[in-house]
Copies of this chain bind each other. A is one copy, B any other.
Amino acid sequence: MATRLSDVAARAGVSVKTVSNVINDYPHITARTRAKVEAAIAALDYKPNVSARSLRKGRSDFIALAIPEMGSPYFAELGAEISRAAKRRGITVLIDQTEGESSAERFVLDGMRGQLIDGIIFSPLATAPAKLTSADTGKPLVLLGERPAGGQFDRVAVDSVQASYDATAHLISLGRHRIAAIGVGGTSTGAVRRKGYRKALKAAGMPHDAALELAASGYHRLDGATAMRELLALPEPPDAVFCFNDLLALGALRTLAEAGLRVPEDVAVVGFDDIEDGRYHSPSLTTISQDTEWLADNAVALLLDRIAGNGGSTHRDLTVPYTLKIRESTGG
């Protein structure tokens, strides 16, 4: 049924070793032999047995991507992009849904998958795996997104403080005075983005108001919608909202629409991530747009480099380029 190396060898009239040499680009091989072997491989549609190869070589050319949930557009798009970046380099991505909290354990337990995978790209969100410190899985790991402690791992992330600063500054430049923030939860993402938000307020000489900083239990539409309702119930509702991701923003927009408020006239809204939904929404969503392709490509490259044994003990920290996309939700 399954064609083996020996089948190829037999058909090409060479030894097994030679076929293996051809496949692994061993230097000393005649063009003629190589052609013969490659013809046989093509004819038989031979695919090396991944299990056997990985067992022998200790390398599988599989990496894992751990994300909270692939149902969320941002993570779905991220997964798609990482998958593509990996495929370009001939390696396969195994996507793992950590489903929130138990992520750190799950990642060590399941994640390692009995030595099948060569490394992990880990993208936490509403989870604070400080435990990661001790997560000496022995396998290379690249972290995506904010993480307070630097130097612990390789990391690829946008400068969230600066981006949040820009987003907030944009709202200020529109002349808004009561600018709320949604998503200041206990997650590190929330903390870092709030930092940029407050910094921008301060730079404009505006005080920050605790009543305008809303936590969100998750980063979903529902949470955004709920938070927005709370904001509207305030004696003095905001005239602008910076949501820490696009889903929150879309939820907020929904609430605003239900309340009969106009966007951006009554309330301006900014998001973060630039997911496709936001681009097509009415009003379209002003947001921070990371270069996801860059992110994916560099994360994969970084991991593979680490797997190859390069990099030594210094941990690299790459900063993803971003732009503020001004759209209808702030009067673009």
Chain A residues in the interface with B (C-beta under 8 A): 1-2, 47-55, 60, 69-73, 76-77, 79-80, 83-84, 92, 94-95, 97, 112-116, 138, 221, 225, 250-251, 253-254, 257-258, 276-277, 279-282
Contacts and interface: CB of A to CB of B under 8 A. Distances in A.
A76 B49 CA distance: 29
A77 B84 CA distance: 19
Given A1-B138, A73-B76, A280 B92 contact: no
Nearest to A52: B55
B73 A80 contact: no
A162 to B, nearest CB: 27
A80 B84 contact: no
30 contacts: A47-B114, A49-B55, A50-B51, A50-B114, A50-B115, A50-B116, A51-B54, A51-B55, A51-B60, A51-B116, A69-B80, A70-B79, A70-B80, A71-B76, A72-B76, A73-B76, A76-B76, A83-B95, A94-B94, A95-B95, A221-B280, A250-B277, A250-B280, A253-B282, A254-B280, A254-B281, A254-B282, A258-B282, A281-B281, A282-B282
Contacts of A80: 69-71, 97
B70 A114 contact: no
Nearest to A256: B282
**Majority secondary structure of chain A interface residues (helix, strand, loop or mixed):** helix
Contacts of A76: 70-73, 76, 79
A97 B114 contact: no
Given A51-B60, A282-B253, A97 B115 contact: no
Contacts of A250: 277, 280
A49 B92 CA distance: 18
B55 A84 contact: no
What are the nearest 10 A-B pairs in CB distance? A76-B76, A257-B282, A50-B114, A51-B55, A71-B80, A51-B54, A50-B116, A47-B114, A221-B280, A51-B51
A48 to B, nearest CB: 5
Of A48, A80, A277, A280, most B-chain CB atoms within 10 Å: A280
